Structure 1
Amino acid sequence: MSTIKIGWIGLGKMGVPMAENLIKSGLPVSVYNRNKAKEEELLAKGAQTAPSPAALIEQSDVVIVMVSDDRAIHAVFLGEDGLLSAKTSGKTIINMSTVSSAISREMSILCSNQNNHYLDAPVSGSVKQAESAQLVIMVGGEENVYENVKEILEKLGKLTLLVGGAGAGNAAKLAVNSMIGFYTQGLSEAILFAKKNDIKIDDFLTIINNGALANVYTKTKGDAILNNNFEPAFYLKHIYKDLGLARDQGLDTPLGEAAYESFRQAEKTLGDEDLIAIIKHLDSSK
């Protein structure tokens, strides 16, 4: 394992702690990020750098991609000096981004055409779980490719699970994030209903957090509301994006439509805040 060279693309809120965990494990890691300043933290901890995705894949055995959306995936894979412009063979590319199943299937075919391997492996969890390597990783792709890199993924999360072929990991992640969107909307509406009926928010959250519905999410997001802290652990604009992707892939339900529309409206002004900021939108739109 120590001889496997890792390339990492995408150093956002999740990418930095995830790449750092691989460095801590003793793996040689090279990084690429469009904003080169974001590389500095990892370079100081032992990472190497590459000037482009093409250069990165040439010096790596496994490349992990963690970017924001389908458009960024196209740029990383197919842009000038993109991964596939290097025309390597025998490499494994693991796309851990939350993107559409369609783009994963497209990239899987293009990688295969060059005799490279592709897995989609998005994660469930936020920055805290990324830092402590407690993510849940949903994988789509060929079983033999998955088995070859499973040990790497296990350095990033507490659970890795192969759920199907190319794109299946992305579909599983969109299902999970749809549920997160529904739950966040529901929690916010319940809090506002309680408040409207003269129940203190902290009293209501105490009830929730000591009953059958108690979980880490209600505790964390409840504390954020009480402290008026909307610093993003998960951007509201990203849950809106994910609900849109799920909608495009067949999420055609009353709750799905309602949540999508609510986050669509909120994203206009609250997109760069945490998704629990939906409560501010709901409170202001009464």
Structure 2
Amino acid sequence: MLKVGWIGLGNMGNPMSQNLVKGGYDVVVWNRTKSKADEVIAAGATWADSPKAVAEQADVVFTMVSDGPTLHAVAFGDTGYVAGLSAGKIAVDMSTVSVEESAKVNEAVEAAGCKLLRAPVTGSTVLAQAATLGILASGDKETYEKVLPMFEKLGANQFYLGGADEARVLKLAINTMIATTMQMEAEAVVLCEKAGLDVGQVTEVIAGSAVGSGICKYKAATITEGEYPAAFSVRLMMKDLDLALAVAKQYGVPMLSTSLTRQQLASASATGRGEKDFAVLTQLLEEASGYKRA
């Protein structure tokens, strides 16, 4: 069985790496803050002192980090994982980053005689814990087939999308729909609240209606309670929409709803909500509408 390296143990990376341990893989991990590795190590993983050390020990190196600059920080430099690669190894990046940022990593991995799979995921931290994520993959098909058994330990659905950065584009497209759905739900909920309806019942009906979706179901309790601990922060969603709008510009696609939602998220951030869950768009609209919950 191939040995796995995992870099990035945040809200998603922690449960995902643990699922590989539970799946019987020998996993070596690194994270910028070592204490975040405690749970994974307790589950059976081992610690490496740098991303380079992870790559030296592993056959397949996964990265799951917050953004492109962080991906480059763990990939490049004297202690980056690329420096620890030897020919024939595999890198798998599951972060949400731009096509350009991805291409630079791919070039370095290929220069080391290795292959890079782009494999961003769809789903929340709850799905990461349950190993029921959707995995969108692109890159070398033969490499994908080698890594597929690992993907099956992480997600319920796996999709091979092509030989380059197709997975990056689709992930960003999906996130635009997730974000704009929350903006639409904010408008629907606040309209109903001001008309005297109960917010809990409203979110329940929306989730079970023709317009209901996974994201409406996941966020129903959050919106009802009016508390917004970050499963996916405003800051990270703004990053993803910026990436999506850049791709849209590249391909000449107007994205009006995405642009509006990006501005609403900017308002949320400017009013101190940048680290709140992006469903806080409902709270933002309540305030803009002069509505205060009892």
Q: TM-score range by the shorter chain?
A: over 0.9
Which stretch of structure 1 is more off in the superposition, 233-242 or 18-27?
233-242
Which residue matches 1:31? 29
Aligned-partner residue type, residue 269 of structure 2: E
* 1:219-254 alpha-carbon deviations (Å, 9 max, x no partner): 331221212231221112111110011011116321
Distance (whole Å) between structure 2 residues aligned to residue 24 and residue 91 of structure 1 = 23
Instruction: Work out which of the residue numbers 268, 271, 275 in structure 2 matches 1:272.
Output: 275
Which residue matches 1:163? 161
Aligned-partner residue type, residue 287 of structure 2: S
User: Pairwise mapping of residues 98-137 of structure 1 onto structure 2 (< 5 A)?
Assistant: 98-137=96-135
Distance (whole Å) between structure 2 residues aligned to residue 74 and residue 210 of structure 1 = 42
Deviation at 1:42, TM superposition (A): 1.1
Q: Per the alignment, in what secondary structure is the counterpart of residue 283 of structure 2?
A: helix
Which stretch of structure 1 is more off in the superposition, 252-261 or 128-137?
252-261
Aligned-partner residue type, residue 88 of structure 1: S
Q: Per the alignment, in what secondary structure is the counterpart of residue 149 of structure 2?
A: helix
RMSD, matched Cα: 1.4
- Tell me how many residue pairs correspond in the alignment: 284
* 1:88-121 alpha-carbon deviations (Å, 9 max, x no partner): 2211000000111221122112211110110110
How has the CA–CA distance of structure 1 residues 206 and 26 changed in structure 2, closer, same or farther, with 3 Å as cutoff?
closer
Instruction: Work out which of the residue numbers 162, 171, 174 in structure 1 matches 2:172.
Output: 174
Distance (whole Å) between structure 2 residues aligned to residue 285 and residue 79 of structure 1 = 47
Q: Is the 8 A contact 1:33 1:39 kept in 2?
A: yes
Identical-pair percentage: 35
* 1:254-277 alpha-carbon deviations (Å, 9 max, x no partner): 112101111122123112111111
Which stretch of structure 1 is more off in the superposition, 106-115 or 13-22?
106-115
Which residue matches 2:292? none
Q: Does 1:17 align with 2:15?
A: yes
Which residue matches 1:223? 221
Q: Per the alignment, in what secondary structure is the counterpart of residue 143 of structure 2?
A: helix
Deviation at 1:129, TM superposition (A): 0.5
Distance (whole Å) between structure 2 residues aligned to residue 164 and residue 110 of structure 1 = 20
Which residue matches 1:44? 42
Which residue matches 1:73? 71
Q: Is the 8 A contact 1:108 1:166 kept in 2?
A: no
Q: Is the 8 A contact 1:101 1:166 kept in 2?
A: no
Distance (whole Å) between structure 2 residues aligned to residue 256 and residue 271 of structure 1 = 18
Q: Is the 8 A contact 1:239 1:275 kept in 2?
A: yes
Unaligned runs of 5+ in 1: none
Which stretch of structure 1 is more off in the superposition, 80-89 or 268-277?
80-89
Q: Per the alignment, in what secondary structure is the counterpart of residue 76 of structure 1?
A: helix
Which stretch of structure 1 is more off in the superposition, 79-88 or 35-44?
79-88
Distance (whole Å) between structure 1 residues aligned to residue 213 and residue 115 of structure 2 = 38
Deviation at 1:87, TM superposition (A): 5.0
How has the CA–CA distance of structure 1 residues 47 and 203 changed in structure 2, closer, same or farther, with 3 Å as cutoff?
closer
Q: Per the alignment, in what secondary structure is the counterpart of residue 161 of structure 2?
A: strand
Distance (whole Å) between structure 1 residues aligned to residue 44 and residue 167 of structure 2 = 31
Aligned-partner residue type, residue 262 of structure 2: Y
Distance (whole Å) between structure 1 residues aligned to residue 216 and residue 53 of structure 2 = 44
Deviation at 1:150, TM superposition (A): 0.8
TM-score, structure 1 normalization: 0.95
Q: Per the alignment, in what secondary structure is the counterpart of residue 13 of structure 1?
A: coil
Q: Is the 8 A contact 1:124 1:136 kept in 2?
A: yes
Distance (whole Å) between structure 1 residues aligned to residue 213 and residue 5 of structure 2 = 35
Which residue matches 2:258? 256
Q: Is the 8 A contact 1:102 1:167 kept in 2?
A: no
Q: Is the 8 A contact 2:203 2:224 kept in 1?
A: no
Aligned-partner residue type, residue 237 of structure 2: I
Distance (whole Å) between structure 1 residues aligned to residue 201 and residue 46 of structure 2 = 50
TM-score, structure 2 normalization: 0.92
- The 4+ residue runs of structure 1 with deviation greater than 3 A are none
* 1:175-209 alpha-carbon deviations (Å, 9 max, x no partner): 11010001011001111111222333233234323
